[in-house]
Amino acid sequence: MTEATLRVWRGDRDGGAFEDYTVPTDEGMVVLDVIHKVQELRAPDLAVRWNCKAGKCGSCSAEINGAPRLMCMTRMNTFDPGEPITVSPIKAFPVIKDLVSDVSFNYEKAKTIPAFAARPKEADGTRRMYQEEVERVQEFHKCIECFLCQDVCHVIRDHDENKMAFSGPRYFVRLAALEMHPLDANDRMELIRAKQGLGFCNITKCCTEVCPEHIKITDNAIIPLKERVVTEFYDPLAWAKRRVFGRSGRGLPPAAAPGPSSPHSREPEPPSA
C-alpha cells in the first residue's frame, strides 16, 4: 500500500487555508477517491460535491495543482509519488465550504438565453432536418456543465467586474448550439454581441484546454459566432448588401419564415461574399 498527501483548501466564504492530509491509497485511484479517504480517515467534515464518479455529471470540478479538472477523472498515477497534491475549489466563483463553490452565476446567465423556438412546419405538416445539418451542433450537446471552462476563463477569473457583461464559454457553446440549429427561429445576434459579451473573449483557448468533454469551444463555437457577429455588425459589405438586396437566408427554405410567436425572429443573414 502506498500513501499520498493531499493539500486541501479548507474554509468558507470568510476565508481559509490549505491543510495537509496523508492517507493510504490503492492502485487505480482517482483524486476523488483520495478525497473520500480523507473524509473517511481524517476530516469527516470536509465538504465535496460529487455524484457520478464517471465524468458525466459535472459536479466534482476543482483545481488540482492549480489546474481546473474533474476530481473523478484525474488519476493519481499521473502525479509524482510522494509529492503533495493541492486540491482547491474552483476559483472564479464564491466558496460555500471547502471544495464546494456556489456556481449560481452560471444559472443566472443561463436564464438570459432565449430558448429554442421551432420554425413553423413545412407545407406537408412536418419539420425536417438532415444529419449533415445537426452534426455540427451535436458536439455542443456533450456539455456536462462542469463549469471548468467558466472557471479558467481569464475574462471573469481575473476580472470579477466583467461578470456583468460576459456570460462565459459555456454559454457561447449553448448559444452556438441554438444559433446553428437548422430549425431554430430565434435571433440572438444582438444579444450575443451586446449582452453576452462575445467581444470580451480574446480566443486564448483556455476553455478548450480544460473541457473534459473535449468540445472545441473556441474553434467551433466562439470563432464561428464571432464571424456571424461580424457579418451582422462590422462588415460594411454585408451591410451594403443588406441595404440593396434585403435579408436573405442562411440556407433556410422560404416556407420556414419565422412565426410571430418568437419576438427575436428575423431572417438570418449571409456574409458579404
Partner 1 sequence: MAADYGTRMATTAGVTRGTVTTQVERPDRWWLEPVAIVSVLGLFVLYSAWAGLVNAHYYSEPYLSPFYSPCITSSCPHVTFGVPFVGDWWGFSPAVFIVGFPLVFRLTCYYYRRSYYRAFFWAPPACTVPDARAKYAGETRFPFILQNLHRYTWYLAVPIWAILTYDAVLAFIFPTPDHTGFRLGVGLGSLIMLANVAFIGLYTFSCHSCRYLCGGYLDRFRGAPIRYRLWNTVNRLNTRHGLFAWLSLFSVGLTDLYIRIVSMGWLVDPRIVF
Distance CA 204, CA 223 (A): 11
| Part in contact with partner 1 (CB under 8 A); list of ranges 20-28, 36-44, 157-165, 169-177 | 157-165
Residue numbers 150-209 binding ligand SF4 by CB under 6 A: 152-155, 169-170, 173, 201-207
Answer for which of 1, 15, 27, 28 binds partner 1 (CB under 8 A) is: 15
Answer for which of 63, 98, 139, 145 binds ligand SF4 (CB under 6 A) is: 145
Q: Say if residues 170 and 150 touch (Cβ distance below 8 Å).
A: yes
Classify residue 102 as left (phi > 0), alpha (psi -120 to 50) or beta: beta
Provide the minimum distance between the beta carbon of 218 and partner 1 in the complex, in angstroms, as a whole number: 8
How many residues form the binding site for partner 1 (CB under 8 A)?
Answer: 80
Cell of 47: 465538504
Report the first-to-last Cα separation within the chain, whole angstroms: 65
DSSP-assigned letter for residue 81: T
Answer for which of 71, 211, 229, 256 binds ligand SF4 (CB under 6 A) is: 211
Cell of 33: 477517491
Q: Which does 217 bind (CB under 5 to 8 A by kind): partner 1, ligand SF4, ligand FES, none?
A: ligand SF4
- 160 in contact with partner 1 (CB under 8 A): yes
Q: State the greatest distance between any 2 C-alpha atoms of the chain, in Å, as a whole number.
A: 76
Based on CB atoms, which residue is closest to ligand FES, 205 or 242? Answer: 205
Based on CB atoms, which residue is closest to partner 1, 24 or 94? Answer: 94
Distance CA 260, CA 154 (A): 40
Answer for which of 162, 191, 242, 264 binds partner 1 (CB under 8 A) is: 162
Residue numbers 56-85 binding partner 1 by CB under 8 A: 63, 65-68
> Alpha helix (H) ranges present in the chain?
31-41, 104-111, 131-138, 148-152, 154-157, 169-179, 189-190, 206-210, 223-229, 236-245
Binding mask 79-118 for partner 1 (x = CB under 8 A): -------x-xx-xxxxxx-----x-xx--x----------
Provide the minimum distance between the beta carbon of 212 and ligand SF4 in the complex, in angstroms, as a whole number: 6
Angle between helices 169-179 and 104-111 (to 10 degrees): 30
Answer for which of 5, 29, 191, 209 binds partner 1 (CB under 8 A) is: 209
Based on CB atoms, which residue is closest to partner 1, 39 or 272? Answer: 272
Pairing of strands 67-70, 61-64: antiparallel
Q: Which does 169 bind (CB under 5 to 8 A by kind): ligand FES, partner 1, ligand SF4, none?
A: ligand SF4
Distance CA 249, CA 266 (A): 10
Pairing of strands 85-88, 2-12: parallel
Based on CB atoms, which residue is closest to partner 1, 18 or 73? Answer: 18
Positions touching ligand FES (CB under 6 A) are: 50-53, 55-60, 70, 72
